[in-house]
Each structure stands twice: as C-alpha cells, then as structure tokens.
Structure 1
Amino acid sequence: MNAVDGDRRTVTRTTLAMGTIVNVHVSTVKPDFLIERAMGRVSQVFRDVEHNCSRFDASSELSQLCRSTGVFVPVSDMLFEAVRFAIEVAKATDGLFDPTVGQTMSRLGFNRHYLTGAVVMPDLTGRADYRDVELDEDRRQIRLAKPLLLDLGAVAKGFAIDLAAQTLQGFEGFVVDAGGDLYVSGTNHHGEAWHVGIQHPVDSRRTICNLRLTDTAICTSGNYERKSPVVATAHHIVDAKTGISPVEVVSCTAIAPYAMMADAFSTASLLLGVEHGIKLLEALGLEGLWITSDLEVHTTNQFTRYQYE
C-alpha cells in the first residue's frame, strides 16, 4: 500500500514473525530499490532474532543453551545481549521480572510454536532464578548453573524492533510495528510526528489515549492479549516469584529511547503495579501509563506531554 503526498510517499510492508504481525512503514522520497533493500534487511533481522532467541524452536540458539547446564557456552552477540539485558531488568525488580520463568510459562500452556503447533515442554524439576545465569562478558559466554528454561519474550521482540530501526536510518520517517510495539522515527508524509493510539483494554476498536511521537519507542504489556489455555486466571505475564499472573493492572505502556527497554519495562512495571511501577520508570527517566482492572488510568508525571485530543 502506497500513500502519496507530493514527492514523498509512505510504503508499507507486512510480514509474520515472532508470533505476531510486523508492519513496517517508510515515508521517504528515496527510490524504490533502496526501500525494498531496507525492507528485506528488516525481515532478515526478525528472522535472525527469532532463530537465536526463541524457546519454541528446538534448534534455536537459546534452546541449545538451555540444554547445556553447568558449562559456559559461547553464544552470539545477539543472544548474549538479550540475556544480559533481561538479567539487568531482573536485578532492577528484585526478581519479580525474571527470564528464567520459561518453565512456568510452559506449565501454563504457553508451549506451542505459533506456526507449527509443535509442543515444547522440557522435563525440568527444581527451582531456579536469574542468579543461576552467569555471564562472561569478555568471552561472550553464558553458563546456566541449574537446569532452567529461559524465556526472552519480554525483550526479544523489542530487540528485533531496535535492530530493524537501525537498518532504516537515513529515511525521512519510518515506523516498525511488531504487534503494537513500535519504534517511530522522523515524521509521516505530512511532515508531522507519528500518531500512535493506545488500545482500550476492553474494546479493541477504541483507543484510550492518543499520542504524537517521534524518534522513540512505545510498547504495551497487557493481560488481555494472551490468556492461559489451562489456567483460567492466568495470562502470559507472570510474577516469577509466585508463578501467578497479576490482575490489578490490565495493561502498562512504556515510552523509552529503545524498544527493548520499553518492551521489558512495560512488563516489569505491570508486574510491580501502579505505585512501584511509576517509581521505577521515573527513576529511569522513562514515561508510562497504567490501566487498572476498573479502567482507572495512571501516568508518570511527564506522560501528558505526548498526548493530544
């Protein structure tokens, strides 16, 4: 689909990756061959991140790492950075957010590959947490001190968005949208900041808030997106300490310089709840919006600067 305004046009490409729909919009006067080349690189980025960081693919680099307990394993820079960042978020939340939650997610029924339907259900016993993941920064190696299953779902998609955004630098404006998690850059073909709506948690046809954004990332974590097929009260966001899904907050949106940061801290801030979530984001210099189960809206102090009616 192409939208033309003078010499500048917006070109959109859509693909399926990492269990979601990825839409890339490029607004530019540059020639088509440059746009198509960039779109191809974006698709490759998402394939690479999925291959390296998916726990649903037995052949992925992450799956191979999780089968190698007790020894340091050399890994790609991509996997190392995703795990390293997830561990840093775990430390910042005292383990409430924890990438070792994969086994709990599997028990809740989040254990099927979105394309093949193949079930990934490793036979693990015992407890583990982020402190059982050891990183060797110099050699880019990871050691799992105990049998565990890493889940990078709260960082990998944001990481892919960031890497895709890097490949699109040089265009006058672009949006990388992976299932509603976005990085926006420059302006649209009207020369305006990009307009972004935050979905209403009850009525998906409505927005609860409208924003103008540029050169930033925005990600939302919501308990209405993926419900557990085996536990009625559970969804895909789980308190790593208790194994229970929070119900007081139905969604949290975070605005950050990078999508991996917005992705992870929207999840962490939903788990923390409104009061502690606001403290965390404001301490990090990020902005956020929380919607509670009774549809009350809470924001960080400076969030309203992005809003418009």
Structure 2
Amino acid sequence: MTARAGRQSTARSLTRRRVAMDTIVSIETVPAKGEIDVDARIAGAFAWFTEVEARCSRFNPQSELSRLCDRPGVAVPVSPLLFRAIEFAIAVAADSGGAFDPTVGDAMARAGFSRNYQDGRANDTRSAAPSSFRDVCLNAAGCEVTLRRPLTLDLGAVAKGLAIDLAAQELSGIDGFLINAGGDIYAGGMNPDGHPWVIGVRDPREFDSLAARFSVSGAAVCTSGDYERASAVNPADHHILQPANGRAAAGFASVTVVAPTAMAADALATAAFVLGPREGIAFLEANGAEGLAITPTGERFETPGLKGYLE
C-alpha cells in the first residue's frame, strides 16, 4: 500500500525515519504531555522492527524463521514472538480456506521474490512439492513448531503488521502518533490538531490520485496492491500469489483494510485480494474488518461499515 496523511497539520509534530524490513518506517508523534521520554519510546518502537525482522525474515539465512525451515520433521522450540506470528498466519489461512497461506515461500522464490534487500543475495527454495498450512503443526504449550515436510514459510503478510503493533504498544503513553511502514499504517490517538488522523490511499492505477481518504484513530490501515512489487521472472506479475497454483492473483488491483491491529489488517487484505470480488468483501465482514477493494478496471467494492471511516 501507498498511503499518506491526507491533511497537513498546522501544529508541531516530530517525525523520525529508519530503514527496516525492506521499507522506510516513519514515526510521527504529537507533543507529549507530562514526563514521557518520547525519544526513548520512539527508539523502543524502532527496535521492534529490528527484532521482528531478525525473527521472521525468510530472506536472512540466520533468522529464526530460516533456522526453523531448515529442520522439517522436527518439533522446534521457537520464541514467543515467532510463534505468535506463525499462529496468527495459520489461523487466517484456515479461516480463508487457504486463500492466505504462509507456506508459499518456495512459490514466491520461484516467482522471483527471493533476494535479500540488504545484500542482494537470493535464497534457495527448499522444495518443489506442494505444501499448505496444514503441513504446519503448532504446540502452544511447548511453544514448538513442526513442519511436516520441507517447505519455506513466508510471513511477509503478518510480520510487518506485528512489528507495527508492537511499536504502537511502545508508544501507547503518547497522546497521538502515526506509524507508517511502507504505507502500512497504525494511527494512535489524535493528530497534532486534535483530530483523527487522515490517511490517503493511493489509486492503484492513477498513482497521483487518491482512491479514498480515511479518518482513523486507534486503528490500522493496510493495503495489498498489485502495483507494489513486480516479479523478477515475469515483470507483468506481482507478489500476491494464489497459494493453490502459485500464480499472481488477478481479481483485484488493491484491497485496503481498516482493522484494530496492523497484523490483522495486513493479513486480511492479502486474503481478500486472493479471494476476489465474490468472496473477499464477505470475508472481511465476517472478520469484523472494514475494507475498500478496487478491481483492475476500477470497479469498487466496500464493506457496509467503511463509510464510518471515509472523509
């Protein structure tokens, strides 16, 4: 997603930026009241992006996720953070009937999405055999994950959202803040003018135009779009794959979701994108999220409750 604050504030705010998780992460905060150490809170928020990337990246062979994927058939103890990300991804996969599936890592690599943004090295696939979320066994009591067959987990649709949510918790004592990680956004409290944050969502075909503007406080706004990442194998294809066949999903050009957490908004947007017009909006409604979906020809689909967020 590409999104930005849709209204310029006339009051003072502080914005800081870092590169993490293959994107630019920015944190904007309103002037803090009381004795809150804003600098320390912001540093703690950025640290979560580093931590989540170290745990959940499939591109780094030394990440905790990569080490897990190197041990199929074994019950592997993992950190609570990685377990949380995998558990949530498997839950969304089951709820979407496999439209969302974190075991698409090898299919992603074969489609050309395999290079580490930090050093440019491509990661190898682990298997050409089909796999699904049902090949992942979770033991919550022992915080263990067992991969029943060789496969590569891809947590791209949940990990960045999780990092945003953890950063938001770090900033929770500040009256207003906006976390923007490459267009995936969490808006906390009010903007410097005392109003909800206004988020502009890019039109998926007219990049200089906005498809909508959302007024948001205490919620996340995330978009899955076919314009975000092109395949190195076939530039006409994008990175949102249909798990059933490994091909780029074609029903939507973009799906934007408003949800209480960024992890939910990001994963639900990806699932709805794959499900397409007939099922995607119903899926969002069933999961208590609001959404705007736009087809490649410009047709728009909205959940009934989205109007409560539209500017």
Asked whether the 8 Å contact 1:196–1:210 carries over to 2, the reply is: yes
Partner of residue 103 from structure 2, selected from 80, 93, 100: 100
Find the aligned partners of 1:32 and 1:237 in 2 and give their Cα distance. Answer: 44
Shift of 1:102: 0.2
Q: 2:89 corresponds to which letter in structure 1? A: A
Shift of 1:230: 0.5
Q: 1:217 corresponds to which letter in structure 2? A: A
5+ residue gaps, structure 1: none
Find the aligned partners of 1:274 and 1:29 in 2 and give their Cα distance. Answer: 43
Find the aligned partners of 2:196 and 2:101 in 1 and give their Cα distance. Answer: 35
Task: Describe the superposition over 1:56-102 as per-residue Cα deviations: whole angstroms up to 9, x where unpaired.
Answer: 00000000000001110000001000000000011011112110000
The match for 1:167 is: 170
Find the aligned partners of 2:266 and 2:125 in 1 and give their Cα distance. Answer: 26
Asked whether the 8 Å contact 2:110–2:125 carries over to 1, the reply is: no
Q: 1:294 corresponds to which letter in structure 2? A: T
Find the aligned partners of 1:166 and 1:279 in 2 and give their Cα distance. Answer: 30
Q: State whether structure 2 residue 217 is matched by structure 1 residue 214.
A: yes
The match for 2:250 is: 247
Q: State whether structure 2 residue 236 is matched by structure 1 residue 260.
A: no
Task: Describe the superposition over 1:173-219 as per-residue Cα deviations: whole angstroms up to 9, x where unpaired.
Answer: 00111011111011111101001011111222221101111000110
Shift of 1:260: 0.2
The match for 2:295 is: 292
Find the aligned partners of 1:155 and 1:94 in 2 and give their Cα distance. Answer: 17
Question: What fraction of aligned residue pairs are identical, expressed as a percent?
Answer: 43
Asked whether the 8 Å contact 1:211–1:307 carries over to 2, the reply is: yes
Asked whether the 8 Å contact 1:4–1:10 carries over to 2, the reply is: no
The match for 1:142 is: 145
Shift of 1:123: 4.0
The match for 2:4 is: none
Find the aligned partners of 1:230 and 1:32 in 2 and give their Cα distance. Answer: 53
Shift of 1:33: 7.6
5+ residue gaps, structure 2: 1-8
Equivalence map 1:12-91=2 (5 Å): 12-30=15-33, 34-91=37-94
Shift of 1:233: 3.7
Find the aligned partners of 2:148 and 2:191 in 1 and give their Cα distance. Answer: 48
Runs of at least 4 residues off by over 4 Å: none
Asked whether the 8 Å contact 2:292–2:306 carries over to 1, the reply is: yes
Find the aligned partners of 1:76 and 1:249 in 2 and give their Cα distance. Answer: 35
Structure number with the bigger relative contact order (C-alpha 8 A, sep ≥ 6) is: 2
TM-score, with length taken from structure 1: 0.95
CA RMSD of aligned residues (A): 1.4
Find the aligned partners of 1:92 and 1:123 in 2 and give their Cα distance. Answer: 26
Q: 1:16 corresponds to which letter in structure 2? A: V
Aligned residues: 303
TM-score, with length taken from structure 2: 0.95
Find the aligned partners of 2:122 and 2:25 in 1 and give their Cα distance. Answer: 24
